[in-house]
Amino acid sequence: MDVLISESEIQRRVTELAHQIEVDYQGRPLTVVAVLTGSLVFLADLIRNIRLPLRVGLLQASSYRGASTVSTGTLLINESFAPDVAGRDVLLLDDILDTGLTISALAQRMRERGAARVRTAVLLRKIGRQAVPFEPDYTGFSIPDRFVVGYGLDFNDDYRHIPYIGVLTDPLPAADPLP
Ligand code: 5GP
Ligand code: MG
């Protein structure tokens, strides 16, 4: 695995984002809604650096199935753990903005459920992949178009616990050189 963003770079940037959020939400009670499962680690680190009253809610959305690294284009949303957002300021968190379909659909859902204002934060944003126009309010890092894992992001449900963002290298050993 190649390290794309180190643990200390992530910690520094997440703390910066938290402080920016703290300034922007002074006097506005906040509901942070994180998209499971990928944004779990980001959520945990971010909220511990926001010194404001805040509620936490969870949504589950998935478009990647099993071992595939290609979106099917079908977004599945599970709202069983979604908080009541009516009249609240919502900050929607996702791990990565790729095509933008997930976060834009979920932001729309929060508005339909009566949120007073919806803002969005993504840890990562892939350059050159966006399929729908969408501007997140907070972005951790812009990254090249590579499949990344770690810090909450998985490949086939593994690697979420890796503390840095990495790019999987070919798991097959290099072929022996010809004699
Ligand atoms: P979008 O709807 O923006 O195309 O995709 C967002 C979702 O796709 C993310 O929440 C994430 O679950 C998944 N995704 C997109 N790119 C990557 C990637 O490079 N690595 C991993 N692990 N998931 C990704
Ligand atoms: Mg996701």
Catalytic residue (choose from 24, 45, 98, 176): 98
Pairing, β 138-143 against β 117-126: parallel
Check whether 171 has a pLDDT greater than 80: no
Q: Among all chains, which residue has been given the structure tokens 């932001």?
A: 107
Residues 89, 31: contact at Cβ < 8 Å? yes
Does the domain made of 2-167 have the CATH classification 3.40.50.2020?
yes
Q: Is 98 an annotated catalytic residue?
A: yes
Residues 94, 125: contact at Cβ < 8 Å? no
Atom 16, ligand 1: residue with shortest CA distance: 98
Q: Where are the domains of the chain?
A: 2-167
| pTM check: above 0.85 | yes
Residue-wise pLDDT for 132-167, tens only, equals: 999 999 999 999 999 999 999 999 999 999 999 999
Check whether 24 has a pLDDT greater than 80: yes
Atom 17, ligand 1: residue with shortest CA distance: 147
Q: Which residues line ligand 1 (CB under 6 A)?
A: 38, 63-64, 71, 94-102, 147-149, 153-155
